[in-house]
Amino acid sequence: MSIIGYARVSSVGQSLTVQSDKLNTYGCDKIYQEKISGTTANRTQLASCLDFVREGDKLVITKLDRLARSTFHLTQIAEGLKNRGVELVVIDQNIDTSTPTGKLLFNMLGSIAEFETEIRKERQLEGIAKAKQNGVKFGAKPKLTEQQVTQLKQDRDSGIIIKDLMAKYNLSKDSVYRMLRA
C-alpha cells in the first residue's frame, strides 16, 4: 500500500509549499505537483497520478478543489478510484473514504453538489428560454450576409476555386463549404 499525494496551484506565481508540507506530514510516499488552472483539461501530473495509484493505495489531497475542476469531474475521479480499490483522503475537510464516516461525508458533499448543479442547470435553461422569447439570438454571428452568400455561390458556379473564395471572403475552407451547402 502506497500513500500518494497530489498538489496543485492555479498559477505560476503561487507556491505549492503549503500543500507539499501537509502531504509530507501526512506521510506520502510520492507527491505529484503541478502549477496549472483547475479548469484546464490537460493536467498531466493529475493524469499520471491517477494512472499510478493501485488497489490498496491512498490518494491524498489537501482540499477537494485541488483535485477536480467541477463536482461532476470530482465524482468521476472518486468513482474511478473506488472501482480500482483506491481510497481518497482530503486533509483539510477531514474526509477519508476508507472510514464509514468519511464515505458518508464524501457522498453527502457529492449529493449536495449534484443538487446544486441540477438547480443551476434548470435556472440556465429558464434564462435561455426567456432570452429567446425576448428575441435574443444565440451562437456566432453570421460571417456573411445573405447577399454575400448568394454572391459566393455565384462566384463558385462561375469557376472560382475554393482557395480564392477563402481569400476573397476571408473564410476558412470549412466555412466556404458550409456556405455553399446552405
The residues carrying an active-site annotation are 10
Give the integer Cα–Cα distance in Å for 180 and 168.
14
* Lookup: cell for 86: 483506491
180: amino acid identity, one letter: L
Q: List CB contacts of 49: < 8 A, sequence separation 6 or more.
A: 4, 6, 32, 59
Tell me whether strands 30-35 and 95-96 are parallel, antiparallel or unpaired. unpaired
Q: List CB contacts of 28: < 8 A, sequence separation 6 or more.
A: 3, 4, 5, 60
